[in-house]
Amino acid sequence: MAARYDLATDPGLQEGLLQARRGTAFFARKLNELTDAELDGGSLLPGWTRRHVVAHVGYNARAIARLVEWAATGVETPMYPSLEVRDHEIDFGATLSPIALRNLFDHSAVHLSVEWRDLPDRDWANEVKTIQGRTVPATETVWMRTREVWIHAVDLGNGASFADIPEPVLERLLRDITGAWAARGTDAGLLISVTGADLVFGDTGAADPTVITGPLPAVVEWATGRGTGGVTAARGADVLPEVPAAPKWI
Ligand code: ZN
């Protein structure tokens, strides 16, 4: 019999699961505020309507659930057969009727939540592989989903902003993104400083860095490539007339 509560007992993991479910509830709220006709409207992502965003978030839950099933059974089930299949699925999902699209989001979210709930402590360290080819423990699936639901709730473009995202999620996002830049060496000469917090990321050894400064939500919005509102760029004492685009993240 399935348990009615999470089997995971690690407090950090429980906190992570809470953050993922909160983000899912937030996405659901923003989605439910939209009329069926409004689903046809543009999202904040170039080339994607809101339908694409909803389809992507729904299929993403299914893909992450496959990883949790993999961790539970040891039977290898990848997120997607390939990137092409993933993209095809999103394009197809975007053509679903509004009710089917909403059901896709709801059912896939519940299914993933149940897979997490029923994963016992001993299986959370089991390794699975992401679509990018990274080998990660099953615990990572919680964070993978967390960042998807929070960021794409903003991408729906009906009023959510990065300021709605909890601070621990924003901080981890910034750590992730700047870590990816550092691994690729694309952060050369770029320093990111969060106002009101003792947080500095990026190329901390640079001699004459371009410093991007702003409140945490604004800096993360910039780092994810979603706008430059609320951030400034400076080199030495000079404020730059334009904030440079952030390096690619994913
Ligand atoms: Zn996504």
CATH 1.20.120.450 intervals, the chain? 11-160
C-alpha to C-alpha distance for 190 and 206, rounded to whole angstroms:
8
Segment (H or E) for 141: helix 140-155
pLDDT in single tens digits along all 250 residues of the chain: 456 799 999 999 999 999 999 999 999 999 999 999 999 999 999 999 999 999 999 999 999 999 999 999 999 999 999 999 999 999 999 999 999 999 999 999 999 999 999 999 999 999 999 998 999 999 999 999 999 999 999 999 999 999 999 999 999 999 999 999 999 988 888 999 999 888 888 888 888 899 999 999 999 999 999 999 999 999 988 999 999 999 988 7
Question: What pLDDT is stored for residue 2 in this prediction?
Answer: 56
Ligand 1 midpoint to CA 240 (Å): 31
What SS3 class is residue 143? helix
Please give the CATH topology (third level) of the domain spanning 167-239.
Answer: Nonspecific Lipid-transfer Protein; Chain A (3.30.1050)
Token digits of residue 158: 């009906």
| pLDDT of 204 | 85
How many residues comprise the chain?
Answer: 250
* Residue 23 three-state SS: helix
User: Is the pTM higher than 0.75?
Assistant: yes
Residue-level pLDDT at 220: 97
The pLDDT score that the predictor gives to residue 3 is: 63
What is the distance in A from the centroid of ligand 1 to the CA of 7?
27
C-alpha 56 – ligand 1 centre gap (Å):
7
Q: How far is the CA of 239 from the centre of ligand 1 (A)?
A: 33
Q: Evaluate whether 239 touches 232 at the Cβ level (below 8 Å).
A: yes
Q: Which residue in 106, 114, 104 sits closest to 59, CA to CA? A: 104
Nearest C-alpha neighbor of 103 from the set 21, 28, 40, 18: 28
Packed helices 140-155 and 98-117: angle between N→C axes, nearest 10 degrees: 160
Q: Name the fold adopted by 11-160.
A: Four Helix Bundle (Hemerythrin (Met), subunit A) (1.20.120)
CATH 3.30.1050.20-classified regions of the chain: 167-239
